[in-house]
Structure formats: C-alpha cells, structure tokens
Structure 1
Amino acid sequence: MSVLESVYNLQRNIRYMVLFFAISMFSAGVFFSNTTILLIAICGILMHNLWYSFESFSNRIVFLAFNGTFFIFLVGRLIVKSVTNYTDKYNNNAFGLDFTDDQVVMRILVCLFLSLFFLFLGYSNMKNNNPITKIEIKLFKRSNIEYIALVSKLAFYFTYVFNALVLWDKAKFTNAMGYTELYSSYVSSFPGWVTKLSEMCPTALFIYLGTLPTKKKAAVPLVLYLLLGGLSLVVGQRNNFVLNILVILVYLCLRNITDKKEKWFGKKEIILCLSTFPLLIVLLNAVSYYRMDSEVANHSFVDGVSEFFYSQGVSVNLIGYAQTLAGELPPDKIYTFGRIEDFINNNTITQSITDAPKYEPQTLESALYGNSFADSVSYLLSPNRYLNGWGFGSSYVAELYKDFGYVGVAIGNVVLGIILSLMTRLFKSGILGVWVCLSMTRLLLYAPRDTATSFIVSTFSLINILTIVVICIGVWVLAERRQRFGLLQKDL
C-alpha cells in the first residue's frame, strides 16, 4: 500500500469516526431531550459532509456547495447564537429561534440532523460516475459545435443587455420606493417582451458553457454573468449575487474533470476566494442595511461575520412554523409539490384552454387558496406586512416536514442527495446536460431557503425551452448555409 493510500484510508477512518460521533450525539440528544447535544450532533454531521466533499473536491463540488448553503440558511444562526451569544434586541430566545417551546425547538433540530444525514446517504450511494446517456437535439451534434457556441454566445450578449436593463429598472424603483415594495407594487417600465428576453440570458450562457469553450473564451461571459449578480446587489437581491458566484465556482470545478489540458480551479483560485471572502461578507451586510434604510453599523469584522450568519439563518424558523401554524394552514395543500401544480395550471397554454384559477404572488388570494407555503405562512404571521411586500420565504425542509413529517424529511433528502449526485454526471453528458446541470444546481443551492421543487419548474420553464428552440434555429440556419455555400468556420 502506497503512502497516499495510507493517508487516504486514515482520513476516511477519521471521517467515519466523526459520523459515528454525530449519530451517537443525535441518539443521546433525542433520548435525553437535550437541545444542546442535538446541536452538537448537527455540527458533527455537517463537518462529516464537508470532509466527505473535500475527499474528492471537484467531483463533489455540488454536494459541498449545497451543504454550505444549508449551513448559511438553516444552521449558522443556531451556532452563532450559541457560540458568540449574539445580541438580538428583538429576540433573546435560545438559538435565536422564534420559539420558546422546547418541543418545537427539538423538532427543528431533529429535522436539521435528519436532512443532513439522509442527504449524505442519498448522495454517497450513487456510485456510478459514468455519464448519463446523452439525450441531445440532432442539431447539437459535434460537427455543429462551433455554430452552437457562436449562436448561444451571441444570444447571451444580446439578451444580457435586456437583463441588465430590467435589473437597472428594479434598482431605480427600490431606491425610490424601498426594497419591500419591489414584491408588492413594482411594475416594469419596459414592455413584456423586454422582460422575456432578459429571462433568456442564463440559458443562453449555460448552453454556451456546455460547448466547453477554452478558459480564455469562457472568461468574458463568466465575468459578465458575475457583473449581473453585482447589479442585483444594487436592487437589494443578495441571493442572485451569491448564487451566480457559486454557479461559476461549480462550473470551474467541473471543468477540472472534463478538461485535461487546463486547470480551471486550482490553488490560485482557492487563494483568491479565501482572500475575497471577508470583503464579500462586508458587502452583503452593507446591502442588508441598504434594504432596511439603515446606516451601516461600525463594528469589528468578527461581529460582522456573526451578524451575517445570524441574519441569513432566519429561514430555520420556518420548520417551527410548519408545526405551530399547521392547524391554520389549508389542510388540503401539499406544499412540497406546489410549484409543479402551479406550473401545470398557470402556464400560458393551460390558461388559454382551461379556467384554472391563477393567484398572483404576494396577494390575499395566493395566501388563502394558493400552493405557496411562503405566502400562507407570511400572511398568517403578519397580514398587513405581507400585503405590503414582506415575506418570510420558504424552505424545502419545512415543506417536507409540514406535508409528510419526519419520514418525508428523510425520504425527501435521500432523493435530493441522489439528484445532487446526478449533477456531475449530467455535466459530462453533452451540451444539454451541462445546461440542466448548471440551471438546476443554481436553484438547488437555494433550496434551503426556497420551495422543494423550484429547481424542476424553473429549469424547464417555457422561456428556457423557447431559448433552446431559438438557438437551434440559429444553428440550423448556419448549418444550412455551410452545406449550400461552404461557409468557412471561424474561430469563436
């Protein structure tokens, strides 16, 4: 046995010990009804998952990123409150939660541990690393790769302008009216076709990235995509900025697997990420103050980090509200699949041939009769604030627990772990595979603060399908010209 194999086996054995420790602490915490022990168990299983990810960094980057967002949105608040005794003038409860009932707190912590544990089980049991069988459009064949790259890149640049205009319009609105008004009274200054063109931008980019351009050719589109996230900060939307960064990191790491000639994410990139992390935290905190029309607080960097994770972790309370508000929520709703039901009923085709009701978000009708867990909970907590644009958001864990209890949390996370493991295989499965991988990954990473099935509905939305059709038409035109006139292929 080589030295490297010995080191690897030692590291893996230590990880198994951490896993055993986490399971033991969880069992003890449940047996003794001790919330502190349960939090230690959650930290243990999270540490194990991160360790497991680093054992094969590039291959498991999606799993690593998901555990990172899970920590930010659902666990960080609990740890910050326990370790630093963070002061919240509005909430001095244990773990920074909105609840004082020990049983509610216990159930929240149990849901978090079960989520992380069964997420690992689902992910780690998908051993086959071979690419998924390619399901490609006929035009997306290797001989047309340069045309696909050209058309998709031009489509990205063209729709990028409209995306930036729409974001700038929202930024002007929030600057004048306030951030919460964006979700209750914002009306675009542009006609509908401008908004639709702007929505085509990410898919055009992901199709281009699916052609696996060189590092030099991919640089400008990736930087532009990052700048779109920066413009979202001006609007007050921090999540788009962070998700854009994470998708870029995922793409760079996955290219390490597919590209044997260039190193896409190595030591230099890791050092760059670590060095810019403090600046990122400060920037995101500043946006938070901007959204609340408050002056930026003057405190230390450590206090700023604590404040960031504490404020971002508010979504963990939704698991508690799934319990305490269960009797007031509509009894016939399965929120886990609510987005899929809305997609089926509310798309343009269905609306034109049926009279299925369509409820606009952030309205009384949506809160009372719709399939949105976020709208219903936000309305029950504060009707006036909800109708004025405030919302608590959602969480896939809360929806699973509300609909199916602990069994649903366990099974749902096994399925989610399997889906996360498929992302790397999808990336190796052709242009459309890369598109599905990047589009789904971006939405999956937000699932701890989003609905359970958003990643499916948003990926296969009509506007995304239309974008692919438009690119196919462009490729077909160029391919026909090549056959008829012997068009010379140009370097992209």
Structure 2
Amino acid sequence: MTPPALMARAPRATAASRHVGVSACALLMLVTGLSLLLVGVSTWHLATLVAALFISYGGAWAWCAADFARRYVLAVFLAPFGLFLLARIGTYLLVDGSQLRLGILGTNFTDELLVGQMLAVLTTSLIALIAGASLLSAGGKRGSDARSRRPAPARVRVVALTIFYVAIPFVALQALLLARSGQTSGFYEARLAVGLMPAPLEFVAEMATPAFFAYLASVPARRPAIFHSLVYLGVMGFTLITWQRSSFVLGLLLVGLYWLHRHLTAPKGERWVTLRYGLIAAIGGVALMGLLALLNTLRGRTRALGLPGGPAVDFLFDQGVSVNVIGYAIRYEGTLPHDRLYSFGQIIESIQAYLLPVFGGRGVGSGQTIERAAEGHQLSHAISYLALGDDYLRGSGYGSSFVAELLVDGGILAVVLGSMAMGAMLMAAPRLLNGPYFVRLFVLALLYGVMFAPRGGFTQFIVQALGTAFLAVYAMIAATLVVTRHPDNREAVATR
C-alpha cells in the first residue's frame, strides 16, 4: 500500500511538473516569436512577421497559464489586446478575407513596409508586456495572499448599494434619451449631443459604476454578489440601445475578472466559477458577439460583411479595427505635432480643463473639432481628423491605443518601456486586490480603464479612476466610515 505521505506528495509533484512543462512551452514560443521578429524586420517579410506576432501572442497566453493563480489579471488583459489589435488580421487569415477588397491583411493600408512595421510594433509590445510581468513575478511571493483581506463593514455595502440603485433610473433615462437622439439625428451626430439631461442627473448616472465597484471591493458574500452583478450587467446591457458598446463590454470584463479573483482566492470549498457558469458564458459569448455585430451594422459603421462564420466572425473582424491606429501613427509621424506627449494626453487635458480656468486660461474644449484635433493632446482626435477629415467632425473616429501613443511619443523604445510598465502593473494587481478596502476599490477602478487600453490611451485609466463620479463615491464611503465609526461596528460582516 502506498504510504499516505507519498500519496499526498504525488499531486504536488504532478502540478509542479505541469507548471514546468507549460513554462517551458511558453518560453519556447516567446523566444521563437522574438527570433522570427528579428528575422522579419531584417527583410520585412510579412509572413514571418505574422508568424512572430501570433506565436508571441500564444506564448503570452501560455506564460499566464503556467501560473494562472498569479497571472490571471494579465490573462484577462490579453483578451481585449487580441480583440482590438489582432482580431482583424487573424480573422482575415482564417476565413480568407480577400473577398472584402481591403488593404493588406484586412487593414486600411496597401504599403507592405508600413504593415510590416505595424506587425513588428505589436509583437514588440507583447513580448515587452510579458518581460515586465516576469520582472515583477521573479521577486514576488507565489499565490495571492487573501488571508489578510478583510470584508468591509456592512454599512459600506449599504451605502454603495444605495448609491448604485439610486443611479440606475438615471442611467436608463440617459440611455433612452441618447437612443432617441440617435434615431432622429443619426448615431455619430448623437455622440456629439450635449445637454440631453440636466448635468446633476448625468452626474448621478455616472456614479452607478463606481458605486458598484465600491460594493465589490467590500468582499460581499457569493449569493448577493451574483444578484447585484446581474443587475449591473443588465443595466449596462440596457445601454446597448444607444448603439454604444464600451460600457457593457468593459463592465462584463470587470465582473468576470472580479469573479475569477474571488474564485482563485476563496477559502477551500467555496467556488465562484463552475463548469456550468463556464458553459453558459461560452454560449452567451457567441450570441453576444452576433448581437454586437448587428448593433455595429445598425449604427451605420459597417455593412454586414458576410464572412464565413456569420455575425460572430463579422464582430471579431470589425473589433480589430484599432490596429489601423498604429498604422496611421506610422503614416502620419511627420505630420503629428512633435511638442505633444500623447501618452499622457488625457491627464494633461484634465489639468487644463480643471486648473487653467482658475488662472484665467482655457483648455482645448470638448467635442470633435479642428481646434481640438490640432491643438489637443489626445492622439485619438489627431489621428481621426487626419484619417477621416470631415467624417471626424461629424462624430466618427478611430479611438486610440496605448501602443500607438507610446510609438508616437518615443518610438520603439517607448513601446518597450511602456509595455513593460503595463505588464508589471497587471502582475501587481492580484495582490493589491487583497489589500485594504480603499486599495481594492481603487485597483478595481484602475483595471476598469486598463482593460480598454488597447483601444484607449496609455494613462486613460488614471483619469477615469480619478474622475469626479469616482471621487464622489470615494468621499461618500470615507465619510460613512468616519461618521458611523463605533467600536461595535469595526468588525466586518459579510452577509449583505
């Protein structure tokens, strides 16, 4: 009979060997990707550069899988990175998108050198992302330490949920007004509309998401967390009537990330993610991609592409449009102003908007105007105006990408350093999510914006987490803790 000690040791040995095997596979893929990148840039051979990109992307996933309990936040980030920056190229290759009569690999460009540079920049960013995460991983403790994590007092959850449910009707009203405006004036014109609802009511509506994050940060019990998460996703889903998808998709990503975090750090026997939930999510995800593709067609952004695989494939192809931002950043390198720091553009414009008027100055304004595109500090406006012209002034745009902003500001070196910083930050997030209450809340707010960085800005998440609605919720929670502090209320209760 096998001794009990040997029986207990066997699973650990198997897990360790599996970890070594997956790590070796990840390292092999990343080294292969880097080698192909070096070969590709010496000849600008597109097939070699495409192979380097997708082998590196697979290597990044394998690296996360090798120690998923510590790297799950980075793994979640790889999903929007792939969706927004790689999906168009990958879909084009898999389903033969040559019938669409677009540029090389489904991009907007026919210059092979430019497309090769785009592929090289993306591969460099991916490898640097993992390199930055690896540097932080090497010196960290294994596993997320949830033992020091304490649920917030019950009164925090009461206040957070009160704000959340008070804000919900105004979120719905705002969505209805925007949808009606879109029906009468068109989707892109509606995006430029202001004053659809009184400013105080708009502010209350904006507090819904930070209030929900304040609730999640309190470490609620599983059953009530399910209910309130479904309510939040339902509210964000209702905003799809405006034909705008970002709020819903980001909310879905954040809720999924939070549930994954709670599952991986839960006490033994408590399961937040099950096979049944996984199957439901997979089936719902396919249906959701079809719905979002339909919304994209209805709002006039694209025609129904008719690619093999149906609306879901159309959705993946269309979402990868952000890769074009990198191409335009390369094409307009000599046209874009050289006295801008686009990577910090949103921070700069926020300072201008809030501080300059105090001293008699003025910022660059809002909306989509020639002045903002030419004098502003956001790459999304500058690129969209250069690429789209009058269509930009009517409300259309390409958005931005943290990769493109870094490239414009400091070339490939900035891409390497910025991507490494992003990887290190994502690697630090799991442990911070087990910190004190306000640390957990702020990290959730940061991650909400970080997940959009492949299609947004390099520092957009900072501005978002320090926005007025988030600050108001932070202040209200802090005031609650100060005003209601009592010795009998210091112990946390996780029942609501």
TM-score (norm 2): 0.90
Say if 1:214 and 1:95 are closer, same or farther in 2 by CA, change over 3 A. same
Deviation at 1:259, TM superposition (A): 2.3
Distance in 1 (CA, whole Å) between partners of 2:415 and 2:190 is: 33
The correspondence of residues 268-283 of structure 1 with structure 2, limited to 5 A, is 268-283=276-291
The correspondence of residues 250-265 of structure 1 with structure 2, limited to 5 A, is 250-260=257-267, 262-265=270-273
Deviates more, 1:378-387 or 1:332-341: 378-387
Q: Would you say the 8 A contact 1:164–1:231 is kept in 2?
A: yes
Task: Tell me which of 232, 249, 255 is aligned to 1:248.
Answer: 255
Q: Would you say the 8 A contact 1:183–1:362 is kept in 2?
A: no
Identity percentage over the alignment?
26
Deviation at 1:296, TM superposition (A): 6.1
The amino acid across from 1:440 in the alignment is L
The amino acid across from 2:60 in the alignment is N
Q: Would you say the 8 A contact 1:22–1:41 is kept in 2?
A: yes
Q: What is the number of residues matched between the two proteins? A: 478
Deviation at 1:262, TM superposition (A): 1.9
Structure 2 gaps of 5+ residues are 1-9
**1:172 and 2:145 equivalent?**
no
Matching residue of 1:45: 56
Pairwise CA RMSD: 2.7
Q: Would you say the 8 A contact 2:91–2:313 is kept in 1?
A: yes
The amino acid across from 2:116 in the alignment is M
Deviation at 1:389, TM superposition (A): 0.9
Distance in 2 (CA, whole Å) between partners of 1:10 and 1:294 is: 44
Matching residue of 1:137: none
Q: Would you say the 8 A contact 1:122–1:416 is kept in 2?
A: yes
The amino acid across from 2:320 in the alignment is G
Task: Tell me which of 104, 114, 117 is aligned to 1:94.
Answer: 104
Matching residue of 1:320: 327
Q: Would you say the 8 A contact 1:168–1:231 is kept in 2?
A: no
Q: Would you say the 8 A contact 2:364–2:371 is kept in 1?
A: no
**1:126 and 2:132 equivalent?**
no
Say if 1:9 and 1:298 are closer, same or farther in 2 by CA, change over 3 A. closer
Q: Secondary structure at the match of 2:154?
A: helix
The amino acid across from 2:119 in the alignment is L
**1:145 and 2:156 equivalent?**
no
Matching residue of 1:451: 457
Distance in 1 (CA, whole Å) between partners of 2:453 and 2:257 is: 16
Q: Secondary structure at the match of 1:394?
A: coil
The correspondence of residues 191-230 of structure 1 with structure 2, limited to 5 A, is 191-230=198-237
**1:188 and 2:195 equivalent?**
yes
Offset from partner CA, 1:93-113 (integer Å, 9 cap, x none): 221122222221121111000
**1:110 and 2:120 equivalent?**
yes
Q: Would you say the 8 A contact 1:170–1:188 is kept in 2?
A: no
Matching residue of 1:439: 445
Deviation at 1:403, TM superposition (A): 1.0
Deviates more, 1:405-414 or 1:217-226: 217-226
Distance in 1 (CA, whole Å) between partners of 2:320 and 2:251 is: 20
Task: Tell me which of 13, 17, 26 is aligned to 1:15.
Answer: 26
Deviation at 1:160, TM superposition (A): 2.2
Say if 1:201 and 1:350 are closer, same or farther in 2 by CA, change over 3 A. farther
Distance in 2 (CA, whole Å) between partners of 1:458 and 1:143 is: 25
Q: Secondary structure at the match of 1:50?
A: helix
Matching residue of 1:235: 242
Say if 1:181 and 1:350 are closer, same or farther in 2 by CA, change over 3 A. same
Task: Tell me which of 68, 71, 74 is aligned to 1:63.
Answer: 74
Q: Secondary structure at the match of 1:27?
A: helix
The correspondence of residues 300-449 of structure 1 with structure 2, limited to 5 A, is 302-347=309-354, 350-449=356-455
Offset from partner CA, 1:248-280 (integer Å, 9 cap, x none): 110001112332152112322222222222211
Q: Secondary structure at the match of 1:447?
A: coil
Say if 1:164 and 1:476 are closer, same or farther in 2 by CA, change over 3 A. farther
Q: Would you say the 8 A contact 1:80–1:306 is kept in 2?
A: yes
Distance in 2 (CA, whole Å) between partners of 1:151 and 1:476 is: 13
Q: Would you say the 8 A contact 1:45–1:113 is kept in 2?
A: yes
Say if 1:16 and 1:172 are closer, same or farther in 2 by CA, change over 3 A. same
Q: Would you say the 8 A contact 1:256–1:265 is kept in 2?
A: yes
The amino acid across from 1:445 in the alignment is M
Distance in 1 (CA, whole Å) between partners of 2:275 and 2:88 is: 30
Distance in 2 (CA, whole Å) between partners of 1:293 and 1:324 is: 23
Deviates more, 1:242-251 or 1:220-229: 220-229
Q: Would you say the 8 A contact 2:136–2:424 is kept in 1?
A: yes
The amino acid across from 1:236 in the alignment is W
Deviates more, 1:163-172 or 1:210-219: 163-172
The amino acid across from 2:300 in the alignment is M
Structure 1 gaps of 5+ residues are 135-140, 484-488
Distance in 2 (CA, whole Å) between partners of 1:324 and 1:3 is: 51
Distance in 2 (CA, whole Å) between partners of 1:56 and 1:257 is: 12
Offset from partner CA, 1:296-349 (integer Å, 9 cap, x none): 67776x1433322221111111111112112222221111111111111112x5
Matching residue of 1:138: none
